[in-house]
Amino acid sequence: MDNSTEDIIFPFSAVQGQKQFKLALLLATVNPLIGGVLISGPRGCAKSTLARAVADLLPVTEYTTSQFVTLPLGASEEMLIGTLDLDHILKGKQVKFSPGLLQKAHTGVLYVDEVNLLPDHLVDQILDVASSGVNIVERDGVSHRHDARFTLIGTMNPDEGELRPQLKDRFGLMVELDNQYSIEERINIIKTRQAFELDKVAFCDEYQAPQISLQQQINDAQELLPKVTCDDACLIEIATRCQQANVDGLRADIMMHRASLTHAAWCGRTTVLLQDIDQVAPLVLLHRSQQSGTPPNSSSGPDQPNKSPTEQNRNGGFSRPKPPQENDSESQASETKSDQQSQSNDSQEQAESGGEWGAMPPQSGEQQKTASQPVQLPELQHTPLTKVINGNVLQGELQQNAQGKTAKGLRQSSLNSHKPDWFNTLSKSLGQWPPAQFSFKKAKTGQAKHHLILLDTSASTLTEGLSSLAKSVVMNIVDSAYLKREKISLLGFGNNQIQTLIKAGKAPKKVQMLLDDINAVGGTPLRQVLEKALQSIKQLRIQTPDLALFCYLITDGRSRADINDLKLQVPTLLVDVEKTTVKRGRGTTLAAQLDAQYFALSS
């Protein structure tokens, strides 16, 4: 293939389907102050293809050159916002600002792939600049500001971890994609892609007219946008929809108003109509709406409508059998005996096939109100498998020797980090290279902590009030994390499924209502929840390498799963909530297999 054609991008207008995705990108291109577009979906949904293609539609002027800038996953803060120009300092002996990717993306597109895996502080900075259009740098002795108006596009695969709700809320628009296509759509996509690969130049020529039309429409909409107005009736409609969606704060209202103005300009009108609000409302509310009063885990089957917990228990949900009445007929007694015999046979078959202890068919469970109990958990300890080795050392002149000195013989303070403070270093040794003395940035005084809680919600936890006891342990961990401003995530495992009850983020102030809505049902998918925990730990370490992780497994130990090959490699505490004197569960065995501490709550 000719190298000159390798940089040719697949045309935006040639992408099949994805109507909502295209609309969101076009609106953000017309008005970058919308705050960017977050695209959530699995692999193969044309996320990257459309993101790159929209850059070709940006209007071109003789004064600006729009660029498509990709933020690498391992980008540093200096690479993003800019830093000192060391070469100019050494040669010209003057402080000069070296721009970062935010300035390079000005008037263009900043594309952040796998934004959910970026460190939170980088995502914060990107969203701050995207919403204001200005990058302000106050660091390393530099005071600098520059325009940075760009179309922000962030993509994420939900299978690889969620984005913090606080960060997700700051994206102006969001689109959720799937990779479910009809046979006809799949064939059209294959044919279109094949035609592009065979002759890129001819293919792009074929779509030149619609591309130019889109480009002109974007330019016209940008010129019309300042003239668009929104009357009180539409403002009331916007406020009503946001209130009904139970959104937090007023950002949704502001974004829906801004997106409605942009959509009206895109359609060539100077007045916002109801149809503009209809088009943008799903994009604005998708990641912000909250369903008040909805239980965190619904175990309704496909043929069973969602019901409140009370209705579930009243209409066929899990409940203990009632004592027989004196006026029961002989036929009813016979029927009850038959049902009990059938259940016994089912349980025996499940046990013989290696099922979980206390397992039940998937069904609704019985709620238990959490009675707060004082719980004193032991302090988590590192084991040989969980020791953290800090191997970050400077190379060359900055590398420390065994006595804690640098190669120049200067001792580095324990209050300093391994990162050099270039401004102070060069200021003290201006004109000398290598510098006579290195200065280091101050080390962080604390370490961020994250508590991963795995709560057993299987049917066996219903007996003897174990559900209330287990939830009290969760409340103890969450309350402590809240007071220390630490982060948590909570996974429930029961009824042969795993549910994210609390997504990774700051510990909430109150969790009792959430815990009271949890139904304890079904079997114990212990191995599956540990595999999920391993995946979560890996993602958290990518996002925040210095994060201190702790795991709590709260269970009665009634599981036959073999987990000897699953090592979480973070300090783990298995809290055994089984209250019997003679343990029927395998708490101690499971703790040994996980290389975890064991703590029997009954003791």
What residue type is 465 in one-letter code? Answer: G
Residue 491 parent element (H or E): strand 487-494
Catalytic pick among 139, 251, 269, 527: 251
| Alpha carbon separation from 120 to 117, 165, 298, 503 (Å, rounded) | 9, 11, 31, 15
Q: Between 251-266 and 232-244, two packed helices, what is the crossing angle to 10 degrees? A: 130
Specify whether the CB–CB gap between 259 and 286 falls below 8 A. Answer: no
Active site (annotated) includes residue 527: no
- Residues in CB range of 143: below 8 A, 6 or more apart: 137
Phi, psi of 56 (to 5 degrees): -70, -15
Burial 218-243 (b: 16+ CB within 10 A, else e): bbebbebbeebebeeebbebbeebbe
Q: Is the dihedral of CA 325, 329, 331, 334 positive or negative?
A: positive
Specify whether the CB–CB gap between 521 and 494 falls below 8 A. Answer: yes
| Bridge partners, residue 502, by sequence | 490
Burial of 79 (0-12, 13-18, 19+ CB in 10 A): middle
| Alpha carbon separation from 455 to 137, 452, 474 (Å, rounded) | 44, 10, 8
Rg over CA atoms, the chain: 29
Of 298, 235, 291, nearest in space to 261 by CA: 235
- Residues in CB range of 274: below 8 A, 6 or more apart: 234, 237
| Bridge partners, residue 155, by sequence | 39
The secondary structure of 330-360 as a DSSP string is: HHHHHHHHHHHHHHHHHHHHHHHTTPPTT--
Pairing state between β 440-442 and 416-420: antiparallel
Q: Is the dihedral of CA 558, 559, 560, 563 positive or negative?
A: negative
Residue with tokens 């993306």: 105
CA end-to-end span of the chain, whole Å?
A: 72
Residue with tokens 């609000």: 277
Specify whether the CB–CB gap between 362 and 522 falls below 8 A. Answer: yes
- Residues in CB range of 565: below 8 A, 6 or more apart: none
Extract the tokens encoding 359: 């397992």
Residues designated as active site: 251
